[in-house]
Amino acid sequence: MAAAQTTPPLAYSMAASDLPSGATMRRATTADIPAIVSVYMDSFRHDLFSRQVFPRSASSSMTYWTRAVAEEMAEAEAVWFVVTEPIAGQQETVQAFVKWTRPGAPFPDPDAADVYPPEGNPALAVALYARVMGAHRERMWDTPHWYLDMMGVRCACQRRGFARAMVGWGIKQSQRGGCPLYVDATGDARGFYENMGFEMLGRDDDDCKVVIETTEGDVEIYMMLRKPNALLEGPDRQSVASTPK
């Protein structure tokens, strides 16, 4: 499979107001992998699932994510972006990332337990990923769609428009090609995606989510879909709707 840096770039022009002054959204390369892993570990450090499966004190957590990002960045169907900005004299610092998967991509399968950090909770990882990936396949197997596989923003940079810009890129692809967007959203992120035009995907409240019990509480993941003609809500409506092609 072709490496990410050899993939032809996908253009995304953004209005100046979409990102803070000095911030830039660009295609990710393999050189960004350490920074992407750093962003993940920071942005999900309080997440109930992530902190149990990927202990921040274990070097094996960094090893897992470095390998996983490298492998997934080499996928032919994957489109990775990073948002950067200059910090303390550095040329650029990666503050956020997103992985989109193109319509028609194969559905992912969960890893075996021995792949995950032994210091964490491999059984929890296998159980959750199996159910989340199964729900994705069951709902979308016959519908071409863009899949928002993974997105992270450093905690210090949240609520600055980075996530909105990265999701906005997917919205533009959806509008141009007519394919919906699909995401597995954590409970904390559900409201953000609803404001971006996503809707719960299921027969009822229970059918649209996966719930896994843990010793620290229930982990909830919501299956959400955004149709190509969906409208944004709240302050996000104008910022993405006015983005030039």
Whole-model pTM: value is 0.86
Domain extents for the chain? 22-233
The answer on pLDDT for 194 being more than 50 is yes
Give residue-wise pLDDT tens across range 41-81. 999 999 999 999 999 999 999 999 999 999 999 999 999 99
CB 190 within 8 A of CB 20: no
Give residue-wise pLDDT tens across range 147-190. 999 999 999 999 999 999 999 999 999 999 999 999 999 999 99
Q: Which is higher by pLDDT, 228 or 15? A: 228
What pLDDT was estimated at residue 229?
87
Count of CB atoms within 10 A of residue 58's CB? Answer: 14
Rounded to whole angstroms, the Cα distance separating 41 from 153 reads 10
The answer on pLDDT for 240 being more than 70 is no
Count of CB atoms within 10 A of residue 207's CB? Answer: 12
The answer on pLDDT for 5 being more than 60 is no
What token pair was written down for 203?
Answer: 């027969």
The answer on pLDDT for 236 being more than 50 is no
Give residue-wise pLDDT tens across range 197-217. 999 998 777 789 999 999 999
CB 81 within 8 A of CB 58: no
Rounded to whole angstroms, the Cα distance separating 38 from 56 reads 11
What pLDDT was estimated at residue 118?
97
Alpha helix (H) residue ranges in 54-189: 59-73, 122-140, 162-177
DSSP E strands: which ranges in the chain? 24-27, 78-85, 93-101, 146-153, 181-186, 199-200, 209-214, 217-226
Task: Tell me the β-bridge partners of 54.
Answer: none
Give residue-wise pLDDT tens across range 19-50. 888 899 999 999 999 999 999 999 999 999 99
What pLDDT was estimated at residue 87?
81
The answer on pLDDT for 230 being more than 90 is no
Rounded to whole angstroms, the Cα distance separating 183 from 200 reads 10
CB 165 within 8 A of CB 83: yes
What pLDDT was estimated at residue 233?
64
The answer on pLDDT for 9 being more than 60 is no
Into which CATH architecture does domain 22-233 fall? 3-Layer(aba) Sandwich (3.40)
Rounded to whole angstroms, the Cα distance separating 209 from 222 reads 4
Give residue-wise pLDDT tens across range 88-141. 777 889 999 999 999 999 998 889 999 999 999 999 999 999 999 999 999 999
Pairing of strands 217-226, 181-186: antiparallel
